[in-house]
Structure 1
């Protein structure tokens, strides 16, 4: 297994997401440490990126702890946010505007 891209932070070895330490453009190739991947959309600073493929219904792990659940399949290198995960902490109705905006992209 190789090292992951230095533009990504792995907060805990159990995590299935990275945190972006810089903005990353759509189409940018990255190394996940489990193989190559491509960023699916522009990623903002501090947003989550899938470290590996995540199945629908699978828990999203950050800091080694579950923070939400995947609502659909998420490929390695893809943005993990309201368009494909449900938070364990933030009520869904607070995120509805963001979710609708993500669907329009």
Structure 2
């Protein structure tokens, strides 16, 4: 199966789409990810949840939090501004 998503860190809760993924597309990465498919169309470069993420839970990409789920996110669901509250600018650096 052709690789269509990128898993950056084994701790990540999302993968990045390497192409447009139509609803029902099986996810395939060079690293082991759970066997699942997309729930909806995901644009290239956007994120897909690879496990269920509870509302208020940190979304992990690159092995670090990129934001907090603003609603429950199912495995296979598109993760973007409609269900992710970014932490960008929330952290003050010394």
| Counterpart for residue 11 of structure 2 | 14
SS state at 1:30 partner:
coil
- 1:28 pairs with 25, 28, 35, which one? 25
Count of residues in correspondence between the two structures = 86
* Secondary structure in 1 matching 2:36: strand
Q: TM-score, normalised by structure 2?
A: 0.80
What displacement does 1:42 show?
A: 1.4
Displacement of 1:89 after TM fit? 0.7
Stretches of structure 2 that go unaligned for 5 or more consecutive residues are: none
Q: 2:68 maps to what in 1?
A: 69
More helix by share: 1
TM-score normalised to the size of structure 1? 0.73
1:51 deviates by 1.0
Specify every segment of 5 or more residues in structure 1 that has no aligned partner in the other structure, as ranges.
92-105
Residues 61-80 of structure 1: CA distance to partner in whole angstroms, max 9, x if unpaired?
11111110001111111000
Contact 2:5–2:27, Cα closer than 8 Å, also in 1: no
Higher relative contact order (CA 8 A, sep 6+): 2
User: In 2, distance between residues paired with 1:90 and 1:82?
Assistant: 15
